[in-house]
Structure 1
Amino acid sequence: MKSLGTLAFAAAALAAAGSVAAQSFQKPEDAIRYRQGAFRVMAAHFGALGAMANNRAPFDAQAAARHGDVLAVVSHLPANGFVAGSDKGETRAKPEIWSEQAKFRAANDKMTAEVAKLAAAAKTGNLDNIKATFGAAAGTCKACHDDFRKD
């Protein structure tokens, strides 16, 4: 039953990703909340996979696949929330996101590609495959945080 809920959420998130990219937020604060929410969801699922990959939690192949499915979808969402005017307010986003947009987009594209590899590895049901891809995906998160997120 959990997997049906996860898949329904992932499908809804994917549909929302397409519609959000095509529309603007009413207020910059809405964009900030949107991207922060997407990052929180990503962190929860990434953390669960990381705990398995680093032997801090028992490996559960079905749970790993579900976490990977959610990550594959949700990884595409935060970029939609970095709209003009959302650099002010309660955000840890650095100004470089807007002044170095090509670099930011490239970092985002690299992250979504590595997360897709991690999600594919999670679907194999093999912990070694997850371990082999987890570090690269985590590295893209760290690189983006280093360059584009305030401490």
Structure 2
Amino acid sequence: MKLALASITLTAMLAVPFAAQAQAQFAKPEDAVKYRQAAFTLLGAHTGRVGAVVKGERPYDKAAVEADVAVMEMVAKLPWTAFPQGSEAANSKAKPEIWKEQDKFMAAADKMQGEIGKLSTAAKSGDLNAIKTAFGAVGQSCKACHDNYRNK
């Protein structure tokens, strides 16, 4: 498990510098949409795993929760460069408010990343109650962004 966590950490360190360059890499708006949807799908999968532990649907395994949260923390940094102008018309659930309210949208992204950072601290502590509290705050930050910037 330590090897897996080290691998995730290395991947995160290597991926973050490229996230800022991602916007320039989209030849077509559809490419940006695919990129951000892939990031959100991966984020959702790992959030769901932690959520299952928080709800008592899966047994608590500290190492597994830490690994899932580490992936969440890394992936949460990726999708934001994939909202270039012109990608609002592509096959996406993104609301036009994203491009009209860029500052608010990015503030919501920063808030979510901050809450995931707190969840990471809680996961490392091994305190399941702290994990539950931090996970609730992550969920609220995700919901707020979905409510404001995502079509159903």
- Work out whether the TM-score is over 0.5: yes
Q: Which residue of structure 1 aligns with residue 75 of structure 2?
A: 74
CA distance in 2: counterparts of 1:32 and 1:17, whole angstroms: 19
The offset of 1:16, in angstroms, is 2.9
Q: Does the residue aligned with 1:16 lie in a helix, a strand or coil?
A: helix
The offset of 1:7, in angstroms, is 4.0
Q: Does the residue aligned with 2:43 lie in a helix, a strand or coil?
A: helix
Q: Which residue of structure 1 aligns with residue 17 of structure 2?
A: 18
Distance 1:27 1:4, change over 3 A: farther
Q: Does the residue aligned with 2:20 lie in a helix, a strand or coil?
A: helix
Q: Which residue of structure 2 aligns with residue 83 of structure 1?
A: 84
- 1:31·1:83 contact (CA, 8 Å) conserved in 2? yes
After superposition, give the CA deviation of every residue in 1:76-116 in whole Å (9 maximum; x if it has no partner): 11111111211112100000000010110111110000011
- 2:8·2:70 contact (CA, 8 Å) conserved in 1? no
Distance 1:76 1:146, change over 3 A: same
RMSD (Å) for aligned C-alpha atoms = 1.6
The one-letter code matched in structure 1 to 2:21 is A
Question: Aligned runs of 1:30-49 on 2, under 5 Å?
Answer: 30-49=31-50
The offset of 1:19, in angstroms, is 1.9
The offset of 1:13, in angstroms, is 4.4
Q: Does the residue aligned with 1:91 lie in a helix, a strand or coil?
A: coil
The one-letter code matched in structure 1 to 2:10 is A
Instruction: Provide the TM-score with structure 2 as the length reference.
Output: 0.91
Distance 1:105 1:146, change over 3 A: same
CA distance in 1: counterparts of 2:91 and 2:3, whole angstroms: 34
Q: Share of identical aligned residues, percent? A: 44
CA distance in 1: counterparts of 2:36 and 2:9, whole angstroms: 16
- 1:64·1:125 contact (CA, 8 Å) conserved in 2? no
Q: Which residue of structure 1 aligns with residue 117 of structure 2?
A: 116
Count of paired positions: 150
CA distance in 2: counterparts of 1:68 and 1:11, whole angstroms: 15
The offset of 1:9, in angstroms, is 4.3
Q: Which runs of 5+ in 1 are unaligned?
A: none
The one-letter code matched in structure 2 to 1:129 is A
CA distance in 2: counterparts of 1:5 and 1:80, whole angstroms: 27
- 1:6·1:70 contact (CA, 8 Å) conserved in 2? no
Q: Which runs of 5+ in 2 are unaligned?
A: none
The offset of 1:4, in angstroms, is 3.0
CA distance in 1: counterparts of 2:3 and 2:82, whole angstroms: 27
